[in-house]
């Protein structure tokens, strides 16, 4: 009896001390957060050309730039950069659209040409002027005064060249080839409704086949095409070049992907350059931002050669500025398509819902 | 159930307060948790649903109602109901034998097994999804079953994630169940099956129904598992709300489905509250010592081992994946966890994210326990009138609601409603633990409430009549009994917070990501090292969770609670 009591008392006191320790030492509230808790409401609301304060960037979860560059930006401009990244490109576009009258940040990066029309239509972006002008080929037909192109990437069908060599089969080259009997049960793609590369590939088929895209997709499915949820599933779950158990040597990925499958001086995969859809990512200043001057400085900074040259290795995308450098092995292993498929953003905006509904019907038939 | 036997109850010396005063006191006590839930849950959800109802500044409910007539909505709703229902039944069916074996039998290593069972519950779904697909996919060891991308795979995944809830909730109740009525029945000639059916199961009913309703809500609102395992051919209400909100931006349709979801959940909660009705409080609560395994226990033990094996298969796939390096085996992926990954894909190394996760989990745990504890006390105190009982059961259902609402609706609701002082929480570092505590809250309540409800109120009355203050009554009557379930609830809340991804990825700051967020980032970028690191980080997450749960199990005091 006594023994039980002593044990109970000991346990209780050790529990209490653990609880106290964790509350004092480990809690976010007590343990001192990341130091950025005191976000000053920037003083520049007077409109004066006043520097300093924090500039907040809203972006998607793939955003990444080297710390050194960020520190240089902060040192040069006097602004503190705070990045708030969450969700994918679609989530970001929705966030910006819903908070158009009370923005969650000063600037935004990562809205692409498949989603741009939505936040633009909701009035989320303010007009912006940059000191450097990116090439006109990336500009949006509407809203070009508010969204500035920063990078571009092509979603292309990738093949496992090593697999095809081993099987003695010629790899496919075009979208039509994917429906060919020779490539039965070999192709896997993420879904248009659940994945942004999946959406891009779908738009490539819309651009290629116009209104008859449902027929093409029916052919694809009849030919054993597998549709999965996300890029991760397709690439790591089914693609022979990336998964031990993969059985499908054809997958939807990016034009830069072959640069990541290099072994022994050569890459084991290739992007089919006749199947690509070009995604362009934009940055802009948010309407009603606390720190519009800082936001504009940030957009300007993203067009500098330093940032542009860092994009390939940080985010697997290509810079838009001609003066930027691309890693040497990318030129060899990740050639870009010369004439990718495109769909007018206004057309995407007008049809997105109907297309996705029809696509889902075709898929679940 | 005939609980009210006033003739037998010794009246306390003081005059009982009038019903209305008791209800007022009840509401006063409930004010704080209700306020918390009102601000962090009702307000955001209402804000987001309102976006769909208001078109061009005018209230237009017609369009929303039209959505409910779409055939696709019916398909989606039916698919949600039958997969979740089937998964719940299966989880209970396989969870009950395991709960018995792991909480009543002296099986070697049972604490470790109990901890291991909780691991799937916390693994990021995207990782488990890839592991499942490695297993079930065309080239996988179980590929011959042809389950990849089928509803069967979805149901399996849902069961895999939720069995732990049944095992723990029912197991803890089973542990403190008085064996004597069963023994008495057996002595009178009842077969073991009759004892189980007529004595044990009725006594366990509140715990079984409680855990089943939680599991159903978890299944019905599962997001990642459905998408990953079912492919894009199958949609549930939850995935449909996500697609409608982020991809299609059809807020009216999203609002319609959210409302449908809430209505169904409220009905379900009302139903389960009826089924759950408090057990006979005069049944003695004791801690039964585990007994040696007998030959007759073989079916239960085998069933438990099968459950364990089924759980371990995907996890084993993960572990093997994390150890495979190029053509051989090695620890390179684990060594890389202190780095920022291939091409510096991470802002902070995995180890730093783990520290953030642990700190966040501590916060989420105490928040969930604080609010959940108060709520459990309120909803289980004996009601003195019908009105009072109604208030209590309404409150009970209210705090379960967060389980039944789309995380997407809640997440976007946060952005558009909590954006003005004094409620500008969008930038608060405590937002993430608050959201996680909200997710853990129903689990905490459902773990504590059945036990508190099982305490004979006469004990409290006796203490009060002997002059004990309410605080002292709480300490001497309630605490000794609720002590163990409280630790179990701590473990649950901690584990939920460690593994929570949906709300966290939506709200977390870039500079201080949690472990699941980092794992998602790693798996989302090409490069063999990043994938290997994601697997290694998942294994670390699983091990940390198992250790934490094991520690909670160890800290449990088997002696306390016995008189």
Residue-wise pLDDT tens digits, A164-203: 999 999 999 999 999 999 999 999 999 998 888 999 999 9
Place of tokens 């002059």: B467
Name the residue with tokens 């002008």: A133
- Tell me what percent of the residues of chain A surpass a pLDDT of 70: 86
Does the CB of B412 have a partner CB in chain A at under 8 Å? yes
Residue B228 has pLDDT above 90, yes or no: no
* Element housing A267 (H / E): strand A266-267
Residue A150 Cα, gap to closest chain B Cα (Å): 19
Cβ-based contacts of B245 with chain A (< 8 Å): 94
Minimum Cα–Cα distance from A90: chain B residue: B246
Mean pLDDT for B344-349 is 72
Cα–Cα separations (whole angstroms), residue A325 to A140, A310, A313: 24, 8, 11
B-chain residues within 8 Å CB-CB of A90? 246-247
The pLDDT of B115-135, averaged and rounded, is: 76
CB B159 within 8 A of CB B95: no
Within B174-322, strands assigned E span none
Q: Taking CB atoms and an 8 Å cutoff, what residues of chain A touch B505?
A: 61, 86-87
Any CB–CB contact under 8 A between B505 and chain A?
Answer: yes
User: Shortest CB distance from A37 goes to which of B234, B239, B429?
Assistant: B429
**Interatomic CA distance for residues B536 and B527, integer angstroms:** 15
Tokens 């936001």 map to which residue? A295
Q: How much of chain B exceeds pLDDT 90, in percent?
A: 12
pLDDT in tens, B11-42: 454 555 566 777 787 778 888 889 888 988 99
Give tens-digit pLDDT for B151-203: 998 999 899 889 988 998 898 888 877 788 888 888 998 888 888 888 888 88
B232 and A83 within 8 Å at the Cβ level: the answer is no
Residues 425-464 of B with CB under 8 A from A: 426-427, 429-430, 433
Answer whether A130 touches B (CB < 8 Å). Answer: no
Tokens for A299, please give them: 């957009």
| Nearest Cβ partner for B505 among A8, A61, A237 | A61
Distance CA B198, CA B209 (A): 16
What is the overall mean pLDDT for chain B? Answer: 82
Residue to substitute from A1, A6, A61, interface B, most B β-carbons within 10 A: A61
Strand partners, A262: A267
- For testing contact with chain B, the best of A236, A249, A256, A354 (most B CBs within 10 A): A236
Q: What are the chain B neighbours of A251 within 8 Å (beta carbons)? A: none
Which member of A11, A118, A260 has the closest CB to residue B527?
A260
Q: Do A8 and B559 touch (CB under 8 A)?
A: yes
**What integer pLDDT is reported at residue A51 of this predicted model?**
62
- Interface contact B509-A247, CB threshold 8 A: no
A193 in Cβ contact with A230 (< 8 Å): no
What residues form DSSP beta bridges with B198? none
Cα(A85)–Cα(A72) distance, rounded to whole angstroms?
20
Q: DSSP string covering B312-324, please?
A: HHHHHHHHHHHHE
| Inter-residue contact A209 to A359 (CB < 8 Å) | no
Coil, strand, or helix at residue B7? helix
Residue B508 CA to residue B7 CA, distance in Å, equals 57
A327 touches chain B (CB under 8 A): no
Note the pLDDT tens digit of each residue in B404-441. 888 888 888 888 888 877 777 777 778 888 888 988 88
Distances in Å between the alpha carbon of B294 and those of A49, A248, A298, B181, B346?
82, 50, 71, 20, 53
Query: From A253, which residue of chain B is nearest by alpha-carbon distance?
Result: B526
Residues 6+ apart with CB under 8 A from A204: A155, A175, A275, A276, A277, A340, A341
Most confidently predicted of A140-144, B342-346, B558-562: A140-144
Alpha-carbon distance values, B349 to A333, A358, B353, B518 (Å)? 29, 43, 7, 9
Rounded to the nearest 10 degrees, how much is the dihedral formed by the CA atoms of A18, A19, A25, A27? 140
Q: Is A333 buried (19+), middle (13-18) or exposed (0-12) by CB count in 10 A? A: buried
Cβ <8 Å between B247 and A90: yes
Number of C-beta neighbours around residue B553 at 10 A: 17
Residue A4 touches partner B, C-beta closer than 8 Å = yes
Q: Residue B50 and residue B473: Cα distance in Å, rounded?
A: 46
| Interface contact B232-A194, CB threshold 8 A | yes
CA-closest candidate to residue B33, choices B379, B510, B311: B379
**B433:A15 CB<8 A:** no
Q: How many CA atoms lie within 13 A of B152 on its CB side?
A: 5
* Residues in Cβ contact with B291 at an 8 Å cutoff, skipping those fewer than 6 apart: B104, B105, B106
d(CA A356, CA A217): 13
Enumerate the residues of chain B whose CB falls inside 8 A of the CB of residue A33: 429, 512
> CA nearest B325 in A: which residue?
A244
- Burial class for B317, CB neighbours closer than 10 Å (0-12, 13-18, 19+): buried
Question: Which is nearest to B345 in space by CA: B526, B482, B83, B116?
Answer: B526
Banded model confidence at residue B212, pLDDT cuts 50, 70, 90: very high
**Cβ distance of A36 and B511 shorter than 8 Å:** yes
CA B414 to chain A, closest CA, distance in angstroms equals 11
Maximum alpha-carbon separation in chain A: 85
Q: Rounded to an integer, what distance in angstroms lies between the CA atom of residue A297 and that of residue A285?
A: 10
Q: Number of A to B CB contacts under 8 A, please give it.
A: 194
Q: Across A297-306, B337-346, B498-507, which has the greatest mean pLDDT?
A: A297-306
What is the residue whose two structure tokens read 């060919």?
Answer: A180
Cβ A232–B412 below 8 Å, yes or no? no
Report pLDDT digits (tens) over B526-563: 666 778 888 899 889 888 888 887 887 776 654 443 33
CB B485 within 8 A of CB B321: no
DSSP conformation class of A264: T
Tell me which chain B residues have a C-beta less than 8 angstroms from the C-beta of A194.
227, 232, 239, 243, 247
Question: For residue B285, what pLDDT is reported?
Answer: 56
Identify whether the C-beta of residue B118 lies closer than 8 Å to the C-beta of residue B171: no
Diameter of chain B by CA atoms?
79
Residues 6+ apart with CB under 8 A from B237: B76, B77, B80, B220, B257, B260, B261, B406
Q: Which of B139, B359, B429 sits opposite A246 (nearest CB)?
A: B139
pLDDT of residue A41: 40
Q: Is A175 exposed, middle or buried (0-12, 13-18, 19+ CB in 10 A)?
A: buried
ipTM exceeds 0.90, yes or no:
no
Least reliable range by pLDDT among A56-65, A141-150, B119-128, B254-263: B119-128
Q: Does A23 touch chain B (CB under 8 A)?
A: yes
**What region does B311 belong to: left with phi over 0, alpha with psi -120 to 50, or beta?**
alpha
Residues 120-149 of B with CB under 8 A from A: 126, 129-130, 133-134, 137-140, 143, 149
Q: Pick the closest to residue A109 from A72, A135, A147 (CA basis).
A: A147
Query: So what's the pLDDT on residue B15?
Result: 53
**Measured between CB atoms, which of A4, A36, A229 is closest to B559?**
A4
Q: Name the region of B515 (left: φ>0; alpha: ψ -120 to 50; beta: rest).
A: alpha
What is the length of chain B?
563
Q: How far apart are CA A28 and CA B358, in angstroms?
A: 10
The burial of A51, by beta-carbon neighbours within 10 Å (0-12 exposed, 13-18 middle, 19 or more buried), is given as: middle
d(CA B527, CA B127): 16
pLDDT in tens, B232-275: 778 889 888 988 888 888 888 899 999 999 888 888 888 887 88
**B508 confidence band (pLDDT: 50, 70, 90):** low
Enclosing H/E stretch for A269: strand A269-271
Contacts of B133 in chain A (CB under 8 A): 228, 233, 237-238
Q: Name residues 531-560 of chain B within 8 A of A (Cβ).
A: 531, 555, 557, 559-560
Task: Report which of B446, B424, B549, B551 is spatially closest to residue B497, judged by C-alpha positions.
Answer: B549
Residue contact A61–B139, C-beta within 8 A = no
Please tell me which residue of chain B has the smallest CA distance to A356.
Answer: B248
B521 lies within 8 A of chain A by CB: yes
Cβ under 8 Å to B: A residues 253-282? 253-254, 257, 260-261
Cβ–Cβ below 8 Å for A84 and B509: yes
Contacts of residue B531 in chain A, CB cutoff 8 Å? Answer: 236, 242
What are residue A362's phi and psi, to 5 degrees? -60, -45
Instruction: Give residue B6's pLDDT band: very low, low, confident or very high (50, 70, 90).
Output: very low
Q: Is the pLDDT of residue A40 over 70?
A: no
Q: For chain B, state the CA radius of gyration.
A: 24
Q: Across the interface, do A233 and B133 touch by the CB < 8 Å criterion? A: yes
User: Do residue B232 and residue A229 have CB atoms under 8 angstroms apart?
Assistant: yes
What are the helix (H) ranges across chain A? 2-21, 67-77, 89-98, 117-121, 161-167, 175-178, 196-209, 213-222, 231-232, 292-302, 305-315, 328-333, 345-363
In A170-199, the residues whose Cβ lies within 8 Å of chain B are 191, 193-194, 199
Contact (CB<8Å) A364/B233: yes
Q: Quick check: bond before B503 cis, omega within 30?
A: no
Q: Measuring CA to CA, which residue among B46, B30, B57, B31 is closest to residue B418?
A: B46
User: Do B510 and A28 lie within an 8 Å CB cutoff?
Assistant: no
- With 80 as the cut, is the pLDDT of residue A270 above it? yes
pTM: 0.81
Q: Do residues B174 and B181 touch, judged by C-beta distance below 8 A?
A: no
């Amino acid at each position: 009896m006594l023994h039980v009591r002593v044990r109970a008392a000991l346990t209780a006191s050790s529990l209490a001390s653990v609880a106290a320790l964790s509350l004092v030492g480990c809690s976010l509230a007590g343990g001192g957060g990341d130091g950025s808790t005191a976000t000053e409401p920037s003083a520049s609301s007077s409109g004066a050309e006043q520097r300093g304060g924090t500039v907040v960037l809203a972006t998607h979860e793939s955003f990444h730039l080297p710390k050194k560059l960020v520190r240089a930006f902060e040192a040069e401009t006097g602004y503190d950069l705070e990045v708030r990244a969450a969700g994918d490109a679609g989530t970001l576009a929705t966030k910006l659209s819903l908070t158009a009258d009370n923005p969650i940040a000063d600037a935004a990066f990562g809205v692409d040409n498949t989603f741009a029309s939505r936040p633009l239509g909701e009035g989320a972006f303010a007009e912006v002027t940059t000191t450097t002008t990116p090439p006109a080929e990336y500009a949006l037909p509407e809203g070009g005064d508010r969204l500035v192109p920063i990078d571009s990437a092509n979603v292309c069908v990738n093949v496992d060249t090593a697999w095809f060599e081993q099987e003695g089969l010629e790899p496919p080259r075009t979208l039509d080839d994917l429906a060919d009997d020779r490539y039965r049960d070999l192709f896997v793609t993420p879904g248009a409704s659940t994945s942004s590369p999946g959406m891009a590939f779908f738009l490539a088929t819309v651009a290629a086949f116009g209104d008859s895209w449902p027929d093409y997709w029916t052919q694809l499915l009849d030919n054993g095409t597998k549709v999965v949820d996300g890029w991760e599933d397709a690439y790591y779950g089914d693609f022979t070049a990336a998964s031990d158990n993969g059985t499908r040597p054809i997958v939807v990925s990016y034009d830069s992907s072959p640069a990541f499958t290099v072994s022994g001086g050569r890459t084991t995969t290739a992007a089919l350059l006749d199947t690509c859809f070009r995604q362009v990512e934009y940055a802009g200043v948010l309407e009603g931002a606390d720190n519009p001057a800082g936001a504009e400085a940030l957009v300007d900074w993203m067009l500098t050669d330093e940032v542009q040259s860092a994009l390939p290795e940080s985010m697997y995308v290509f810079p838009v500025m001609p003066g930027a450098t691309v890693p040497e092995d990318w030129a060899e292993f990740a050639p870009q398509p010369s004439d990718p498929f495109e769909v007018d953003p206004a057309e995407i905006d007008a049809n997105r819902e109907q297309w996705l509904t029809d696509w889902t019907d075709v898929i679940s038939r | 159930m005939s609980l009210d036997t006033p003739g037998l109850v010794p009246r306390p010396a003081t005059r009982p307060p009038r019903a209305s005063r008791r209800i007022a006191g009840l509401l006063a006590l409930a004010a704080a948790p209700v306020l918390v839930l009102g601000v962090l849950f009702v307000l955001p959800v209402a804000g987001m649903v309102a976006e769909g109802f208001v078109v061009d500044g005018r209230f237009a409910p017609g369009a929303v109602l039209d959505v409910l007539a779409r055939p696709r909505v019916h398909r989606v709703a039916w698919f949600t109901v039958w997969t979740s229902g089937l998964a719940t039944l299966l989880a209970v069916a396989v969870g009950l034998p395991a709960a018995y074996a792991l909480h009543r039998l002296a099986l070697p290593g049972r604490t470790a097994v109990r901890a291991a069972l909780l691991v799937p519950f916390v693994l990021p779904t995207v990782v488990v999804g890839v592991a499942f697909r490695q297993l079930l996919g065309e080239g996988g060891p179980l590929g011959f079953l042809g389950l990849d991308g089928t509803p069967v795979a979805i149901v399996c995944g849902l069961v895999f994630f939720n069995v732990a809830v049944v095992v723990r909730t029912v197991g803890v109740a089973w542990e403190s169940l008085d064996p004597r009525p069963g023994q008495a029945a057996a002595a009178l000639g009842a077969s073991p099956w009759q004892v189980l059916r007529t004595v044990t199961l009725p006594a366990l009913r509140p715990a079984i129904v409680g855990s089943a309703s939680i599991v159903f809500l978890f299944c019905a609102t599962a997001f990642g598992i459905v998408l990953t395992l079912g492919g894009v051919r199958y949609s549930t209400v939850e995935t449909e709300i996500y697609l409608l909100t982020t991809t299609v931006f059809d807020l009216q349709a999203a609002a319609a489905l959210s409302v449908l979801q809430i209505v169904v959940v409220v009905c379900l909660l009302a139903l389960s509250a009826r089924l759950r009705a408090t057990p006979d409080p005069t049944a003695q609560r004791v801690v039964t010592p585990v007994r040696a395994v007998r030959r007759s226990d073989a079916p239960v033990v085998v069933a438990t081992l099968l459950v364990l094996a089924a759980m371990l298969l995907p996890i084993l796939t993960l572990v093997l994946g994390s150890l495979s390096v190029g053509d051989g085996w090695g620890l390179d992926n684990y060594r890389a966890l202190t780095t920022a990954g291939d091409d510096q894909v991470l802002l902070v190394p995995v180890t730093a994210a783990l520290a953030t996760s642990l700190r966040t989990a501590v916060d989420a745990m105490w928040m969930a326990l604080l609010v959940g504890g108060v709520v459990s006390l309120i909803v289980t105190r004996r009601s003195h009138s019908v009105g009072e009982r109604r208030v209590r059961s309404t409150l009970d259902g209210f705090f379960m609601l967060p389980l039944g609402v789309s995380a997407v609706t809640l997440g976007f609701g946060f952005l558009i409603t909590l954006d003005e002082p004094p409620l500008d929480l969008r930038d608060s570092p405590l937002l993430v633990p608050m959201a996680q505590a909200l997710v853990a809250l129903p689990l905490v309540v459902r773990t504590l409430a059945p036990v508190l409800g099982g305490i004979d109120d006469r004990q409290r009355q006796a203490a009060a009549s002997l002059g004990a203050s309410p605080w002292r009554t709480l300490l001497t009557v309630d605490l000794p009994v609720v002590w163990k379930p409280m630790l179990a609830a701590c473990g649950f809340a901690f584990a939920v917070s460690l593994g929570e991804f949906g709300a966290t990825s939506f709200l977390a700051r870039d500079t201080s990501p949690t472990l699941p967020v980092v794992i998602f980032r790693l798996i989302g970028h090409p490069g063999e090292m990043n994938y290997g690191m994601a697997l290694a980080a998942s294994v670390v997450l699983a091990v940390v969770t198992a250790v934490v749960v094991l520690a909670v199990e160890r800290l449990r005091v088997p002696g306390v609670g016995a008189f």
